[in-house]
Every structure is written in structure tokens, then in C-alpha cells.
Amino acid sequence: MSTTQLEAGPQADVCEFERPKPFNLFIFGATGDLAKRKIFPALYQLNTLSLLPEEFLIIGSARKKMDTDEFRDLLREAVRNAPSIGVEKFNEAKWRELANRVHYMPVEDPGSYGAMLKNCVPLEERYKTCRNRIFYLAMPPSAFNDVIKNLGEAGAAGQSEKGGGEENGGYSHIVVEKPFGRDLESAGELNSTLRKYFREDQIYRMDHFLAKETVQNILMFRFSNYIFEPIWNNRYIDHVQITAAETLGIENRGPYYEESGVLRDMFQNHMLHLLALTAMEPPSAFTTGKVRGERAKALSSIKPLDPEKMDEFLALGQYGPGHSDGVLPGYRNEPGVSPNSNTATYAALKLEVGNWRWDGVPFYLRSGKRTPARTGEISIHFKPVPHKIFREYNEQQIEPNVLTLCIHPDEKFDLFLQAKQPGTRICLGPVRLDYTYPKGIATTDYARILLDCMQGDQMLFASADEVESSWQLLTPVIKKVESMEIKDFPNYEAGSSGPGQADAMLSRDGRAWDPL
């Protein structure tokens, strides 16, 4: 197979944002895993790339009692060891620049939110943050409702008489991490609580997949090239595969994962957003409202799933002990997991988008923990050529074209075509056109999320409609799964590519998964 590497586009520096305005970022759940692994490393990256403003303040907050120095020490270790940075690349001076602006304020009870907002004013004046405030909720999802209420009652939205960002000429944005609720009903309640205190343009619902470079590229790819859109439909496309497979297990998140499982953790948000970007109609303009509107329309066009016919569209798995560079424990042996757990760590789901463009084209989605490789990709499998004039010259079957948009481990896209192989005999073979993103230039997904929130750009965040449509689709299925006793768990080995049921689902349709 031959490969053609295309030329890279413009230099990255012309594609970078201008620095945002000064801000005060409150991080709730600041001593937790997410803050340490993702949020602070992303802030460090933004600072190293000179993408933070001259003036800013970061207030970490959690229940734990500690002082600012202890908090900074804790973060330093976390940032140094973060996979996106690494000990060798860690720059002490750059860290100091950031750390000097990080403070810690514990919150214990609902009453302490008001005091915290009041107590931070002298710091805001010292750091000249212009009363721009971002409230980032990075704590366990079960606490979201209460914290939003506490913040709202304390006047954080800046629309009450109690004083806040907007009343003093700044902005007040609230960022809510995923999972946004645990079903349709709780997501609706969360949206109502948010709307009680904040306007929609102040609310940022997280899905960090939307901020990945290659995921953002899906729309650029589709809507800035004339050649794809005319064939992006059921006339030319046979099926679509969307994969997010991870070598990692559940890390130290046993209790969270037991509550969520793969359908809540990966499908309700990341997987369905990847589908929405692949399936949506072209928006009439590249604006937040129009892009989010089309994404929401695509999600609401997915045909409803009948929980009574689950075997036709869903295959679930849970990993047992296995091997990959050593022995790996089974899910039921992970800390914080019940020894009889019924929680799925793998799912393969077949969906159809019910509209003129996609009728009859299956979208196969799969995501799982402890697979042999970390793979994130969308592959568009085109139909075979209708009349095979080269059949007699080619012993092997001529493979249909496949376009793969790779999210990780490599950030790239590939197009497989058929071409004549050099030689005197007529021989056809696949060739690959690919483009790999330059490494080390792009900001991480979390850095991009933070930057957009500072810039007031909601395009890469989910709207209330998107969140509710995806819950509407999945809630009946999740409820049914939770009511069943799954007898064959664990049904795949850690380090293998998933349960046989997932392969069987595709082979019933005469298809096979792309290799992991």
C-alpha cells in the first residue's frame, strides 16, 4: 500500500487566538482528579504559550482544609506529572508565573459561597480581573445541583441585587462538567436550576471531545471542501463507524464509574456528539447558534430505540482479568467496584438517523475500556463501485473507499482509494492519502475549552437541547439495562478488542469492525 503525505497548511501562529481579557477563574472540586489531571495542566499550557492575559486570578475551592501554599505544592506535582506535560518539559519559572496567581479558599456549607465571593474582591482588585468571573464545576456530578443553587443564591450570576461580575461591568460564566445529569429527568432538573440563576449565554456545558483539534476539523473538512458534501449521503455511503477505545481501565474512578458505566460516561456525550458532527446538515453560517442548532437537529433525528429489542442494536461488555505488558485486573477487581458489578465497560450501539440524507445508513458506535490500542476515529465506508469492470484483472475483491478521520493516537485523516499498481499486468491496489497534524503545536482540548470560556464562545459546548436529545435517546435503554441481571459478565479479557457480541452485531449485517 502506498502513502502520500499532503502539505501542511498555514503556520500555527497565525491560527492562534488573541489573548483573552483578564479573568478570575473559580474551580470547585479543585483538589480532585479532573482539576489535577486536566484543568491545571491546561492552564499551565496556556500560560506557556502566552495565551493567558497579563492579569488573571485562579481560586481553587474544595471541602478540604488547606492553605494556598499547600494547594500550590499539590498542583505543582500534578502538573509536572501530567501526561500532556511531563517532568522533562516542566518549566519551573513558567509554573511560578501561574502559581503566584493561584489561591485556595475552602467552602464548607451553603453560606460560605457568599463569603467567598465577598472575600475574593480584594484579590480581584489586586490582580485587576475586571470582575470577569468563571465558575468551573469540576466536582462529582451528584453535587452540581447544590453548588449551582449555592452560587446562584450568593449572587454569582451577577444578575441579583447581591452584586457579582456583570453588575460591575464584567461577565459571569458557569462551566458544568459532564456527565450532565444521569438521565433525561435529572438533566432537565439541572437545566432548570441553571436557568433559574443564569442566562443561557452564561452556561457552558462541557464535552471536551468537541474541543479536540481533529473533532473541530470534521466541520472544516466537510464544509470547506466541495468534493465531499455531494457524496455525504445514503446514495454513496454504506455505513459509518465511530470508535473511542482506550487501553486504560477506570483508573481510580471506581465509585464514579459504578454509577455511570460506559453508556453515560462516553455515549450520552462524546460518542453522540461525534455522530452529530458527522451527520448534521451544513449550518447557514459558522455561528454558535447555528452550529449548535444543527448538531441538536441531528441528535433529535436519531431514530428512537426500542428497549424491548435491545439485542438488535446493543452489545455490552465488561472486562475480566487479562494481559497487556503484564497482568491486568478485571473490572470487578478494581478499587471501589463491587465484586458482582453489572456495570458495562464496553458498548457497541447501532443507530440510524431518520432523515432524507441518512435513511438506511447504519452508524455503528463502539467504546470500551482496556482494549489493545487507544483508538479514536470516525470512518466513512463508501459503497462498492456499482459495476466492476476490473473484476477479471483482480483476483482479490476491490475494496470500497474509506475515509477515516482519526482523533487519536495520531491526529490525522486518511482516504483509501484504489489505483493501478505499477507494472505491465493490470493490477489494482489500495493507496492512502493522509494528512497528519503537526505534533506539539495545538493546545489540548481542555486548554481550548478554558480559552473559549474566557472568550465567551459557546460553540464547542453543548446546548440544553443537545443534552436533552441525547438523554431522550439513551434513557430508556439505560433503564432497561439497569433492570437486567447480566449473566455473562465479564465477557472480554482486559487487553482484547471487546466482546464477541459486538462482532456478531456487525456480522449479522454482513459487515466487520475496522481493526483496533
Residue with cell 458498548: 347
Helices first, then strands: H and E counts in the chain = 16, 19
Name the minimum Å distance from CB 268 to ligand BG6: 10
Long-range interactions of 84-90: CB distance < 8 A, separation 24+:
84/41, 84/42, 84/45, 84/444, 85/41, 85/44, 85/45
Cis status, amide bond into 490, omega within 30 of 0: yes
255/304 with CB nearer ligand BG6 = 255
The nearest distance, CB 408 to ligand BG6, in angstroms, is 6
Question: What three-state secondary structure class fits 419?
Answer: strand
For residue 60 the three cell numbers come to: 481553587
Compute the least distance from the CB of residue 84 to ligand BG6, in Å: 10
Given the complex with ligand BG6, which of 237 and 262 has the nearer CB atom?
262
Gap between the Cα atoms of 157 and 170, Å rounded: 11
In the complex, what is the shortest distance from the CB of residue 100 to ligand BG6, in angstroms, rounded to a whole number?
A: 29
Given a contact cutoff of 8 angstroms between Cβ atoms, the answer to whether 214 and 411 are in contact is: yes
How many Å apart are CA 323 and CA 329, to the nearest integer? 9
User: In the bound complex, what is the minimum distance in angstroms from residue 15's beta carbon to ligand BG6?
Assistant: 21
Closest distance to ligand BG6 from the beta carbon of 265 (Å):
5
- Residue 290 is which amino acid? K
246 versus 414: smaller Cβ distance to ligand BG6: 246
- Cβ-closest position to ligand BG6: 265
Cβ at position 208, least distance to ligand BG6 in Å: 6
Neighbour tally for 18: CB within 10 Å = 8
* Minimum distance, C-beta of residue 446 to ligand BG6, in the bound complex (Å): 9
What is the grid cell recorded at 256? 464514579
What CA–CA distances, in Å, run from 243 to 50, 257, 348, 376? 34, 20, 9, 5
Measured from the CB atom, the residue of 71 and 267 that comes closer to ligand BG6 is 267
* Nearest by Cα to 202 from 270, 135, 257: 135
Nearer to ligand BG6, 183 or 377 (CB): 377
> In this structure, what are the phi and psi dihedrals at residue 183, rounded to the nearest 5 degrees?
-165, -175
45 alpha carbon, distance to own chain's centre: 19
Q: Is 270 a catalytic residue?
A: yes
Residues binding ligand BG6 (CB under 6 A): 178, 208, 246, 265
Q: Would you say 318 or 401 has its CB closer to ligand BG6?
A: 318
DSSP state of 264: I
Q: Letter for the amino acid at 201?
A: D
> Of the listed 208, 270, 273, 381, which one is catalytic?
270
Closest C-alpha among 322, 302, 356, 330 to residue 477: 302
Beta carbons of 361 and 344 less than 8 angstroms apart: no
| 103 or 178: CB nearest ligand BG6 | 178
**Residue 453: partners with Cβ closer than 8 Å, 6 or more residues away:** 134, 136, 173, 175, 204
Go through the chain and tell me how many residues it has.
516
Which of 76/208 has CB closer to ligand BG6? 208
336: its cell numbers:
471501589
**Which active-site residues does the annotation give?**
270
